[in-house]
């Protein structure tokens, strides 16, 4: 009996201890839960199917497809495109060599895709992004970190799963072997990346940096196969034709160096049923044909050797589309609306050139460009003059600074030159359309040069006090359109009348790429992206820190004023504040005067054999030929039966 009572007492004591322990654990759980709730309430953890900086998404979690696509677009057929020039690599991340077009089309990212020549998906919304490899994005309201929850069904084209380990590997590979400007900028802002499980990855952002563009930066990183890189020993900083398997809807079918690349739609692609992919990636085959020059490429289109063309040469657009196939209606010629602000295209000054450091010299050189004559005589009056990096939008700087726009600059301190506070936003000069050598502008240009160290000698050339001739080299890619060559040559002719030893240097594609990347030029045709909002990428494009080597900043612009405007823009907290800051950046960039705008085409010029179709309503931010156009098999068979196409 005593033993039974002892056992009962022992059980009672044990049960009491368990109860105390459970109570303690329960209390701890409640406390932990309360702390978590407090943290959530304080930091407002956001979980979403997409991301925008201000938190607004147009498409709901259960969206079926983007509004502008044809969800019933048929799959099939081939589209072929002609390019002029050469390529020797399928790796665009290596500074040397020339990568083929679409060399990254096989790869996907956590947040979708960047459309060539435009913004990110979707093409009808600005600043909104939706999950692709990730189904859910999680981040606090402070945006101090982000967790991507990945789709476990995602696969590379070799059948291996896409995991968070691949994302982390790709992120580190870009930091270790990618372009220097990107690697330095991102490593400072993203000090920590960690795999939480096979399908969860977390990025933590550094204190002291704006949260603008950080989630997008890590979310848009291409994801490569860690397994393939480790097994092959391949490097990102090398020229190569072998590529790692991607997880995207296309795979490489064939590579013929400097002649052709062929991509085939992958029937086993893991993501065909995703809403983000509905009505997209419709062609079975994408074929890119390379030709020695623009003339040969155009002849190939006329002959039906290639079937689609985006035209950039106004001379051809205005006068060369009169061949039999177009007259029969076998080829269509269309001007489709472009709702994206035009990139700032023009003649870029290399600010690293000693002779161009003086702004007065740049202003004089610019007066040698006659837009009005060029447009009427060489471009068939089809171009529009470009004033702004945000041309035609609410972000375009206009007139003299007033109101909040003035206050913005006044808060920046001593980096702001007094003339920018008092003068109107810089606009291009006006020239006489009747003659190339506009006398008034050339007289003004010569006066500007006379006020610098460059004086005219007895031989008509300008020299400095050391006897050095003012020499400017205009680097040009020989395979480019004939109209651009004419623009450059006539511009160089005007520079020579000023006493400048202007050299027009036309080189082949390989030489051009090498000289361009090493900035072996004084003047070059290039472009900067339009300003549509703020973001960390502005520092890469326009900032001083990477100016000496950034491939995205061909002028080598390094301006304390521009740096200050970007820094303040990155700290804005509302759309109104952001707009004011971007207008200020537009004004500051135009004030620094590092390029001569040569104008732009307001629409997309496209010509194609009548075997393709596209949505009736064009989305504003992308032409989308390789994205959401489709093939009409019946039309194709009819053209082949008639002998018009092979």
Sorted by where each begins, the domain ranges of the chain are 48-69+103-252, 344-452+470-481+500-597
List of E strands, 520-635: 523-528, 595-597, 603-609, 612-613, 630-631
pLDDT band for position 311 (50/70/90)?
very high
The pLDDT score that the predictor gives to residue 340 is 87
Q: Annotate 302-350 with DSSP letters as a single string.
A: HTTSS-EEE---HHHHHHT--SHHHHHTSEEEEEEE--SPPPEEEEEE-
Whether 17 shows a pLDDT value over 70: the answer reads no
Whether 470 shows a pLDDT value over 60: the answer reads yes
CB atoms within 10 A of CB 479: 22
Tokens of 636: 């194709």
pLDDT band for position 121 (50/70/90)?
confident
The pLDDT score that the predictor gives to residue 480 is 87
- Judge if pTM exceeds 0.75: yes
pLDDT band for position 324 (50/70/90)?
very high
The pLDDT score that the predictor gives to residue 566 is 96
List of E strands, 451-510: 455-456, 462-463, 471-477, 501-507
Cis previous bond, 59, omega within 30: no
Q: What is the mean pLDDT of the chain?
A: 90
Phi, psi of 521 (to 5 degrees): -160, 160
CATH for 344-452+470-481+500-597 (3.30.2270.10, 3.10.20.90, 1.20.58.480, 3.10.105.10): 3.10.105.10
- Residue 161, classified by CB atoms within 10 Å of its CB into exposed (0-12), middle (13-18) or buried (19+), is middle
Contacts of 66 (CB under 8 A, 6+ apart): 59, 121, 122, 123, 124, 276, 278, 279
Using CA atoms, how far apart are residues 508 and 444, in angstroms rounded to an integer? 36
What integer is the mean pLDDT of 374-392?
Answer: 96
Query: 312 vs 24, 79, 386, 585, CA distance in Å?
Result: 74, 19, 17, 29
pLDDT exceeding 70 applies to what percent of the chain? 92
Angle formed by the axes of helices 575-592 and 560-569, nearest 10°: 170
Whether 30 shows a pLDDT value over 80: the answer reads no
Q: What is the pLDDT of residues 588-637, one digit of tens each?
A: 999 999 999 999 999 999 999 999 999 999 999 999 999 999 999 999 99
Using CA atoms, how far apart are residues 33 and 41, in angstroms rounded to an integer? 12
Q: What share of the chain is helix, strand, coil (3-state, %, to 5)?
A: 35, 20, 45
The pLDDT score that the predictor gives to residue 220 is 94
Answer for the pair 606, 117: CB distance below 8 angstroms, yes or no.
Answer: no
Adjacency order of strands within the sheet including 603-609:
250-256, 260-265, 285-291, 78-84, 308-310, 603-609, 331-337
The pLDDT score that the predictor gives to residue 336 is 96
The pLDDT score that the predictor gives to residue 178 is 87
Q: What is the pLDDT of residues 396-405, one digit of tens each?
A: 999 999 999 9
What integer is the mean pLDDT of 562-570?
Answer: 96
Q: What is the pLDDT of residues 71-116, one digit of tens each?
A: 999 999 999 999 998 899 999 888 777 899 999 999 999 998 765 5
Whether 16 shows a pLDDT value over 50: the answer reads no
More confident residue, 512 or 481: 512
Nearest by Cα to 201 from 164, 153, 174, 163: 164
Phi, psi of 608 (to 5 degrees): -160, 150
CATH (residue range 48-69+103-252): 3.40.190.10
The pLDDT score that the predictor gives to residue 643 is 92
What integer is the mean pLDDT of 349-364?
Answer: 97
Instruction: Give the count of alpha carbons within 13 A of 415, CB side only.
Output: 17
């Amino acid at each position: 009996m005593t033993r039974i009572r002892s056992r009962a007492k022992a059980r009672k004591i044990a049960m009491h201890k368990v109860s105390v322990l459970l109570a303690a654990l329960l209390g701890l759980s409640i406390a932990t839960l309360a702390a978590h709730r407090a943290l959530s309430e304080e930091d407002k953890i956001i979980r979403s199917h997409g991301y925008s900086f201000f938190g607004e998404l147009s498409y709901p979690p259960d969206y079926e497809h983007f509004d502008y696509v044809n969800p019933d677009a048929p799959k099939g057929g081939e589209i072929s495109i002609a390019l002029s020039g050469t390529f020797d690599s399928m790796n665009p991340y290596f500074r040397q060599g020339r990568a083929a077009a679409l060399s990254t089309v096989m790869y996907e990212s956590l947040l979708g895709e960047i459309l060539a020549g435009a913004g990110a998906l979707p093409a009808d919304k600005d600043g909104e992004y939706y999950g692709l490899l990730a189904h859910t994005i999680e981040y606090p309201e402070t945006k101090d970190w982000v967790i991507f929850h990945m789709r476990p069904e995602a696969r590379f084209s070799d059948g291996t799963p896409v995991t968070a380990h691949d994302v982390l590997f790709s992120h580190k590979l870009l930091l270790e072997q990618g372009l220097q400007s990107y690697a330095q900028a991102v490593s400072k802002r993203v000090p920590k990346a960690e795999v939480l499980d096979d399908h969860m990855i977390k990025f933590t952002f550094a204190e002291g940096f704006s949260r603008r563009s950080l989630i997008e930066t890590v979310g848009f990183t291409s994801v490569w196969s860690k397994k393939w890189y480790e097994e092959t020993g391949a490097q990102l900083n090398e020229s190569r034709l072998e590529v790692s398997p991607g997880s995207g809807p296309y795979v490489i079918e064939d590579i013929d160096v400097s002649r052709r690349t062929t991509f085939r739609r992958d029937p086993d692609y893991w993501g065909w049923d995703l809403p983000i992919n509905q009505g997209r990636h419709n062609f079975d085959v994408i074929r890119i044909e390379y030709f020695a020059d623009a003339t040969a490429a155009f002849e190939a289109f006329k002959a039906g050797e290639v079937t689609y063309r985006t035209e950039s040469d106004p001379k051809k657009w205005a006068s060369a589309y009169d061949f039999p196939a177009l007259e029969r209606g076998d080829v269509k010629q269309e001007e489709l609306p472009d709702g994206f602000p035009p990139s700032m295209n023009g003649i870029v000054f290399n600010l690293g050139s000693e002779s161009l450091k003086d702004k007065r010299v740049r202003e004089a050189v610019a007066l040698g460009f006659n837009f009005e004559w060029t447009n009427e005589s060489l471009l068939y009056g089809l171009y529009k003059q470009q004033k702004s990096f945000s041309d035609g939008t609410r972000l375009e700087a206009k007139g003299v600074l007033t109101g909040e726009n003035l206050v913005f600059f006044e808060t920046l301190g001593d980096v702001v030159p007094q003339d920018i506070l008092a003068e109107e936003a810089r606009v291009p000069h006006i020239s006489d359309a009747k003659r190339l050598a506009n006398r008034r502008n050339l007289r003004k240009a010569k006066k500007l040069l006379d006020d610098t160290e460059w004086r005219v000698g007895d031989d008509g050339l300008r020299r400095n006090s050391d006897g050095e001739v003012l020499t400017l080299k205009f680097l040009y890619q020989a395979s480019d359109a004939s109209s651009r060559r004419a623009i450059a040559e006539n511009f160089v002719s005007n520079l020579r009348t000023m006493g400048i030893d202007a050299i027009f240097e036309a080189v082949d594609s390989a030489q051009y790429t090498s000289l361009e990347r090493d900035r072996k030029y004084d003047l070059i045709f290039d472009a900067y992206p339009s300003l549509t909002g703020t973001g960390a990428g502005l520092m890469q494009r326009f900032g001083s820190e990477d100016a000496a080597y950034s491939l995205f900043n061909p002028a080598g612009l390094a301006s304390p004023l521009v740096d200050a405007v970007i820094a303040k823009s990155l700290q804005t907290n509302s759309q109104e504040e952001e707009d004011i800051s971007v207008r200020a950046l537009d004004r500051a960039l135009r004030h620094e005067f590092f390029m001569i705008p040569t104008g732009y085409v307001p629409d997309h010029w496209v010509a194609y054999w009548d075997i393709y179709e596209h949505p009736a309503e064009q989305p504003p931010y992308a032409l989308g030929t390789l994205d959401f156009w489709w093939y009409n098999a019946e039309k194709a068979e009819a053209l082949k039966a008639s002998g018009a196409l092979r």
